[in-house]
Amino acid sequence: MQPFNDTFIKACLKQKVDHVPVWYMRQVGRYQPEYRKIKETNSLLDIVHQPELCAEITKLAVDQLNVDASILFSDIMVPLGPMGVKYDIVENRGPVLEKPFRTAADINSLRPIEPEQDLPYVIETIKILKQNLHVPLIGFTGAPFTLASYMIEGAPSRDYLRTKEMMYSAPTVWHTLMEKLGDMIITYLKAQVSAGASAVQIFDSWVGALAPQDYRQYVYPTMKRIFSELAEIDAPKIYFGVGSGELLPIWKELDTNVIGLDWRVSIQAGRERIGNRFAVQGNLDPTLLLAPWSVLERRAKEIIDMGIEQPGFIFNLGHGVFPEVDGAKLKDLTTFIHEYSASQLSQK
């Protein structure tokens, strides 16, 4: 096996690196012919329940793309199953629930999880990966707002109508839901780290739908508790959201190590909003992977130039890789990021 590459962890901790580390959200997925082949006979959840297969496809992306970190193959919905949420992940659509969670009784029925008993296949996948990877493994979970949005809407949503309705109309019920999800997140991430995850990312993909004042009132208290209870884990923490630029002045009060940005906020503007306590991850618009190489390269260069102005930068996309992307281009991008950033950093 290759020597262990800990550049990603160093960047999360704002330590000196010789190249900018890179990984891609949804680096495992339908853009890969091998993944599409496995999906012909296995659903996403079938894969998650088979640790050997799940570890294999998690590692395949690392080997194909030569990225500096691996992300566990799973889905944010997976730990909701043992809490009592019946869902399916529908092709080209996303998570769908048989019966959405709308009432106090629905929320009260949610159970706490015990990861080793309830999600043994996730723990086993992490243990296998720990033995076989030469880069850090990132464990992950969804954040309370984003998970709640699927539970309450019952399907992917544009306006989060029912979610916000519960938030405004039944704040006590909403708060109970946030706290139950918060408990799950803390327990689940601790278990992932105990099993071998070297870093953890909390995906708050849809929280950008909230006004800062609503985030402050209805979401922030739970996020604050999650990060303070995770202070003891020996793994850097990453908090990521789409369209969350206006929330950054609030996020800067959270005890996370890394803040993930989407492409709507430049690395520079993001740093101005959060100060210099955090490492920053991001933020190429994933659509640029469909642009001609010269356009893609120029945009990647601009991001790297801003990123390396300060210690603590991890290259990523502003959101996940689309199925339409050519894997060879993604690999070329990795090579470019490594080589260009190494040459720039060596002159510093």
Interface with ligand CP3 (CB under 6 A): 25-30, 39, 44, 71, 73, 75-76, 89, 91-92, 94-95, 140, 156, 203, 205, 320
Strand partners for 200: 139, 237
Nearer to ligand CP3, 160 or 340 (CB): 160
CB nearer ligand CP3, residue 107 or residue 138: 138
For ligand CP3, which is the closer residue by CB, 133 or 306? 133
Using the minimum distance from each CB to ligand CP3, give the nearer residue, 95 or 182. Answer: 95
Q: Which amino acid is at 134?
A: H
DSSP-derived secondary structure letter, 110: P
Shortest Cβ 48–ligand CP3 spacing (Å):
9
Residue closer to ligand CP3 by CB (options 286, 308) is: 286
Q: What is the smallest separation between the CB atom of 41 and ligand CP3, expressed in angstroms? A: 13
What's the rounded Cα separation, in Å, for the pair 15 and 326? 33
Query: What is the rounded CA–CA span in Å between residue 199 and residue 196?
Result: 9
Q: What are 13's strand-pairing partners?
A: none
Residue closer to ligand CP3 (CB basis): 140 or 315: 140
- Nearer Cβ to ligand CP3 (195/308): 195
Query: Which two structure tokens, joined as six digits, stand for 187?
Result: 């327990």
Which long-range CB contacts under 8 A does 339-342 form with residues at least 24 apart? 339/19, 340/300, 340/301, 340/304, 341/19, 341/20, 341/304, 341/307, 341/308, 341/315, 342/18, 342/19
Q: In the complex, what is the shortest distance from the CB of residue 120 to ligand CP3, in angstroms, rounded to a whole number?
A: 19
What is the C-alpha to C-alpha distance for residues 150 and 97, in angstroms, rounded to an integer? 8
| Closest separation in Å from C-beta 74 to ligand CP3 | 6
Instruction: Please state the closest distance from residue 341 (CB atom) to ligand CP3, in A.
Output: 22
Nearer to ligand CP3, 81 or 94 (CB): 94
Residue 93 has a CB neighbour count (10 Å cut-off) of: 10
Q: How far is the CB of 286 from ligand CP3 (least distance, A)?
A: 10
Shortest distance, CB of residue 16 to ligand CP3, whole angstroms? 28
**Residue 125 beta carbon to ligand CP3: minimum distance, rounded to whole angstroms:** 12
Smallest separation, CB 77 to ligand CP3 (Å): 6
- The residues near 266 (Cβ < 8 Å, ≥ 6 apart) are 283, 306
DSSP string, 164-176: HHHHHH-HHHHHH
Residue 126 and residue 121: Cα distance in Å, rounded?
9
Whichever of 35 and 215 has its CB closer to ligand CP3, that residue is 35
Q: State the DSSP code for 245.
A: G
What's the CA gap between 245 and 255, in Å, rounded?
18
Backbone angles phi, psi at 150, to 5 degrees: -70, -40
Helix (H) or strand (E) holding 108: helix 104-108
Cα separation, 271 vs 280, in Å, equals: 8
